[in-house]
């Protein structure tokens, strides 16, 4: 039985190796029948008729093609986090492709070549890079071919082929945005980001266009079809070569070109193909032997910087924006450059600097943020920055958009009297008549708080995360908590981040049908404590930006977003305290990048898990048995 399985496996390997060669032989036989009677001397004469200027133009186009292939490899290395330097990825990728396209079996030969040229790269990573390059190139080739054949139709293709390919490409792009991580046999597979997919498509288009141009320049002047037709024919011939997997694509490539370019005489067409193979295949393969003989000894780059964590909270505790306390929970990392430091959070499409630098100036961090985002195939973004930092980013050439207003109160100046707070006073009286009491206490009933959070989350379709807090006992322990009770039973609570110069509202949770004015009572109590403690600034956090000096369309869009997201109610609640509204901005190097980053942050905020993190306090009995002591910091 075992011997039979071994023979079957051996037979399968032989078939896999022999099939491409067999297909190549069949295509060569078909091509020889097509070119029967062709005089070899006429082909040699046609090759000799190619002018030095044509050879130079083909060499220049070939150089551009392999440059783009090297950039393509760099994008794949970044996605797989191999740690290979960009310069080494460029040269090793171009050399590996030059060899694999001549030798055939691109995934295997490409993996071996990359492993040889990059000693710090493991065999597994070399195989992963080669496999992803092959798969993604086929997908990108299909999209480029669909676009080109739409502009320059080919009779051999059914009319629905190009629209079907483009529809599938759009589906992949939407999947990469909305479901960036897919389950795969018990593992999680990260799809390339949209910036990575865009780069892959762009470099594939540049590579194939340059290769087609190299072939076009070698065609006889006056006999060559228009460049668009040659481009379409070249793409289809390349697809035939890739699909069959023959060494160098010999056979299918030539047969496809002969069939697709009937207007070019056979002798001249075959001479152009021979010249193209010399320029685009033989010469790059010979040059690739140099890095194969002398691998890149400094191919590996430094690994990622360490994460910010509760074990190293100094930057968080001393941050100008107390809201940075959320970095204790969301996996933010520290970004440091030229004496400046900030917290950054990575999502599928963007790398976002949160709020403000923890020390130093933002201008010192912009180049580092851009470089780090590029290293991970993301778009750089500044999120919820102040007007001052937004002006600095705009001067640096970044695109800026106002995304929210921060509701800020000066506790020392807050006074309930007067017509401004008439509605707030009425809410507070309602809560008092209902017997609602508020405490910021020595102990907190974490079991009750957890229950309130679960009920609230279920009623509101889940909690939001990432840039706002999620309930977790260890996280709440670092905050200032106010609890509302009715008849001794907890019914609502709020938490605040505490900084050296401000408190910032974070969690707001309550049971359904709670007495009117309960949440206002919690905030009013915190304001009174902040005034007594001499805190100069209390922030009720962000709320949807109100229309300002903007166009009518932007104003209507803001109002629609606020209405659909529940922001209108949030605005009414916070406006009752008559806060000062300070605009908050987002910024990115391009408008498209800014739109992508904001959309991705919105997706990630909604997609964050609402389950508390694993903790010894996660069991209800333990929660009920244990309470955490809080000191009143005044």
Closest CA relative to residue 101, chosen from 343, 262, 280, 315: 280
Domain containing residue 161:
56-83+133-283
Classify 578 in phi/psi space as left (phi over 0), alpha (psi -120 to 50) or beta.
left
Q: Judge whether 522 lies within some domain.
A: yes
User: Alpha-carbon distance 379 to 341, whole Å?
Assistant: 19
User: Alpha-carbon distance 382 to 355, whole Å?
Assistant: 7
Q: Judge whether 18 lies within some domain.
A: no
- Give the chain's domain count: 3
Q: Judge whether 589 lies within some domain.
A: no
Domain shared by 398 and 411, yes or no = no
Domain shared by 66 and 213, yes or no = yes
Domain shared by 455 and 395, yes or no = no
Stated pTM of the model: 0.81
Q: Is the pLDDT of residue 247 over 90?
A: no
CA distances (Å), origin 381, targets 82, 593, 596: 24, 8, 10
The residue that leads in pLDDT, 244 or 169, is: 169
Closest CA relative to residue 82, chosen from 287, 355, 376: 376
Q: Judge whether 32 lies within some domain.
A: no
Please tell me the predicted confidence (pLDDT) of residue 618.
32
Q: Is the pLDDT of residue 143 over 50?
A: yes
Closest CA relative to residue 345, chosen from 353, 357, 337: 353
Domain shared by 396 and 251, yes or no = no
Domain shared by 390 and 466, yes or no = no
Please say whether the beta carbons of 373 and 600 come within 8 A: no
Q: Judge whether 211 lies within some domain.
A: yes
Domain shared by 430 and 380, yes or no = no
Domain shared by 195 and 278, yes or no = yes
Q: Is the pLDDT of residue 1 over 50?
A: no
H/E stretch holding 590 = none
Domain shared by 418 and 393, yes or no = no
- 431-444 pLDDT, tens digit each: 889 888 888 866 77
The residue that leads in pLDDT, 627 or 255, is: 255
User: Alpha-carbon distance 366 to 356, whole Å?
Assistant: 12
- 250-295 pLDDT, tens digit each: 778 888 888 888 888 878 888 888 899 999 999 999 998 988 888 8
CA distances (Å), origin 17, targets 7, 20, 21, 22, 493: 15, 7, 7, 9, 68
445: domain CATH number? 3.40.630.30
Q: Judge whether 65 lies within some domain.
A: yes
Residue 224: pLDDT band (50, 70, 90) is confident
Domain shared by 319 and 225, yes or no = no
Q: Is the pLDDT of residue 66 over 60?
A: yes
Q: Show Cβ contacts of residue 142 under 8 Å, excluding neighbours closer than 6 positions.
A: 165, 169, 239
Q: Judge whether 266 lies within some domain.
A: yes
Q: Judge whether 173 lies within some domain.
A: yes
Please tell me the predicted confidence (pLDDT) of residue 322.
85
Please tell me the predicted confidence (pLDDT) of residue 391.
93
Domain shared by 362 and 383, yes or no = yes
Domain shared by 392 and 464, yes or no = no
* Phi and psi torsions of 438, nearest 5°: -125, 135
| Residue where a domain terminates, one of 347, 372, 402 | 402
Domain shared by 393 and 439, yes or no = no
| Residue where a domain terminates, one of 235, 267, 283 | 283
| Residue where a domain terminates, one of 334, 368, 402 | 402
């Amino acid at each position: 039985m075992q011997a039979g399985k071994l023979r079957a496996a051996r037979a399968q390997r032989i078939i896999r190796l022999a099939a491409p060669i067999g297909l190549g032989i069949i295509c060569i036989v078909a091509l020889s029948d097509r070119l029967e009677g062709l005089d070899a001397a006429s082909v040699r004469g046609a090759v000799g008729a190619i002018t030095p200027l044509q050879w130079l133009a083909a060499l220049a186009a070939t150089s551009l093609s392999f440059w783009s292939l090297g950039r393509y490899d760099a994008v794949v290395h970044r996605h797989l986090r191999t740690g290979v330097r960009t310069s080494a990825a460029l040269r090793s990728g171009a050399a590996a492709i030059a060899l694999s396209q001549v030798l055939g079996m691109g995934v295997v030969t490409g993996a071996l070549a990359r492993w040889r040229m990059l000693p710090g790269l493991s065999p597994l990573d070399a195989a992963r890079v080669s496999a992803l390059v092959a798969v993604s190139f086929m997908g990108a080739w299909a999209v480029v071919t669909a676009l080109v054949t739409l502009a320059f139709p080919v009779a051999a293709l059914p009319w629905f082929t190009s629209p079907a390919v483009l529809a599938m490409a759009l589906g992949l792009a939407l999947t990469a945005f909305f479901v960036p991580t897919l389950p795969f046999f018990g593992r999680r597979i990260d799809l390339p980001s949209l910036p990575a997919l865009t780069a892959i498509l762009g470099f594939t288009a540049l590579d194939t266009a340059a290769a087609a141009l190299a072939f076009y320049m070698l065609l006889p002047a006056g006999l060559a079809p228009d460049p668009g037709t040659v481009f379409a024919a070249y793409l289809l011939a390349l697809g035939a070569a890739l699909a069959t997997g023959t060494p160098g694509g010999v056979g299918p490539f030539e047969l496809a070109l002969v069939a697709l370019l009937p207007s070019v005489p056979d002798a001249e067409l075959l001479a152009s193909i021979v010249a193209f193979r010399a320029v685009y295949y033989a010469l790059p393969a010979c040059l690739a032997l140099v890095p194969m003989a002398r691998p890149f000894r400094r191919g590996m780059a430094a690994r990622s910087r360490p994460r910010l964590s509760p074990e190293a909270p100094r930057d968080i505790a001393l941050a100008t924006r107390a809201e940075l306390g959320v970095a204790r929970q969301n996996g933010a990392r520290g970004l440091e450059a030229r004496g400046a430091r900030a917290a950054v959070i990575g999502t599928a499409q963007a790398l976002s600097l949160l709020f403000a630098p923890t020390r130093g100036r933002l201008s010192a961090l912009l180049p580092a943020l851009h470089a780090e985002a590029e290293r991970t195939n993301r778009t750089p973004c500044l999120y919820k920055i102040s007007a001052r930092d937004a002006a600095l980013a705009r001067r640096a050439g970044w695109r800026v958009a106002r995304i929210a207003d921060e509701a800020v109160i000066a506790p020392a100046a807050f006074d309930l009297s007067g017509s401004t707070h008439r509605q707030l006073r009425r809410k507070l009286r309602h809560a008092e008549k209902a017997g609602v009491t508020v405490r910021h206490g020595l102990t907190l009933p974490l079991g009750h708080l957890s229950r309130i959070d679960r009920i609230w989350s279920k009623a509101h379709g889940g909690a939001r995360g990432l840039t706002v807090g999620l309930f977790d006992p260890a996280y709440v322990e670092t905050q200032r908590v106010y609890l509302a009770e009715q008849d001794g039973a907890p019914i609502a609570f709020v938490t605040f981040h505490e900084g050296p110069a401000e408190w910032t509202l974070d969690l707001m949770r309550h049971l359904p049908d709670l007495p009117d004015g309960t949440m206002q009572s919690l905030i009013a109590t915190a304001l009174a404590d902040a005034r007594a403690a001499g805190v100069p600034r209390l922030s009720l956090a962000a709320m949807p930006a109100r229309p300002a000096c903007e166009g009518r369309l932007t104003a209507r869009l803001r109002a629609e977003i606020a209405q659909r997201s529940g922001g209108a109610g949030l605005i009414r609640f916070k406006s009752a305290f008559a806060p000062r509204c300070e605009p908050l901005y987002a910024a990115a190097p391009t408008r498209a990048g800014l739109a992508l980053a904001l959309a991705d942050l919105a997706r990630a905020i909604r997609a964050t898990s609402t389950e508390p993190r694993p903790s010894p306090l996660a069991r209800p009995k333990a929660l009920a048995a244990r309470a955490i002591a809080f000191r009143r910091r005044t």
